Copies of this chain bind each other. A is one copy, B any other.
Amino acid sequence: MTRLTSDVLDAAWKVFDGARRVMVAMHQNPDGDALGSAIALTLGLRALGKDVHLVCPQPTPEIYDFLRPQELIESAVPRETPELAVLVDCDRPERTGALSEAVAQAPYSVVLDHHPPTSEFGTARVTDEDCAATAEVVYSLLRHRAVPVSYEMAEALLTALVTDTGGFRYPNTRPRTLEIAADLMRQGPSTADIAQKVYDTRSLAGLKLMSRALDSIQLSPNGHVAWARLSLGDYEVTGAKPEDTEGFVNMVHGLKGVDVAVILREEAPGSVRVSFRSRGGAPVGRAAEALGGGGHELAAACVLQGTLDEAEQRVLEELKKWTEF
């Protein structure tokens, strides 16, 4: 891991300064941090006169439409190899899907990330696991070179901070995160606006589905494990879509005294996706791994074959190995 020292930031700027044609790429299935960081960086480098192509071959989640991805992001994989490729919110070309080859073949590359390192890729790497979001890395880069932060750039970075910290509620939120958010707010955008845009976006079908998920919640005898389940029938009756379950597991986690929260969702006949959250009492990442999935220690997922009942039984049996029940 590097830190955001003056030397590290200087080294990255040296690579940026040497290139005119830049491709900015983010990981597949981009989230608010990948999108917001990539957009702010793109606008910042353009302000310095560079020819920057922000490329994402996939559609971006609708809730981020206010960041105008349609105008800023190209979906076509570039034919020419870029002079410089920038990897945002990940640290290996493979994470970018269809852009992998273009990223890997660029003569120069810069990695901007806040995840634990998984490679040594990059002419320059600016990564810091202490940052709540890659947006903190991009912010530090821009401020280091005194690149003016416009309203659009501030809004993109603040969106990244708000979403990657769950509205400053996750333990990754540190004083510096709030100070950066304060500075970004001084450019015009507000946390209230952004939180409304990204959090107050449920459909009626989504709330009806949430009603069914909440109604299904069960608690383990000691009250430390809670789980909810949704069948294909629940989606049919409510008209909700799989993406409408975003955040449901956090609702289950909101139960007083609960350490581990689980949502089991039937994705297709005989296939059940399971999402886990833990406050630290149980390493749900290890449990998910044992079930053929993976993730972080405190947030993980797996897909099980079989009925909802079968999946529920397997999940509970596995959890009993990792935590008191």
Interface residues of A (CB under 8 A from B): 167-179, 181-183, 185-186, 190-193, 195-196, 199-204, 207-208, 210-212, 214-215, 217, 219, 226, 251-256, 258, 279
Contact = CB atoms under 8 A, between A and B. Distances in A.
A281 to B, nearest CB: 13
Contact of A207 (B168, B203, B251): B251
Identical chains bound together, number: 2
A168 B191 contact: yes
Contacts of A179: 178-179, 182
A207 B255 contact: yes
A179 B183 CA distance: 9
A256 B181 contact: no
A233 to B, nearest CB: 15
A185 B191 contact: no
Best-surrounded residue of A191, A199, A202, A208 (most CB of chain B within 10 A): A191
Nearest to A218: B204
A146 to B, nearest CB: 20
A7 to B, nearest CB: 25
A190 to B, nearest CB: 7
A267 B70 CA distance: 49
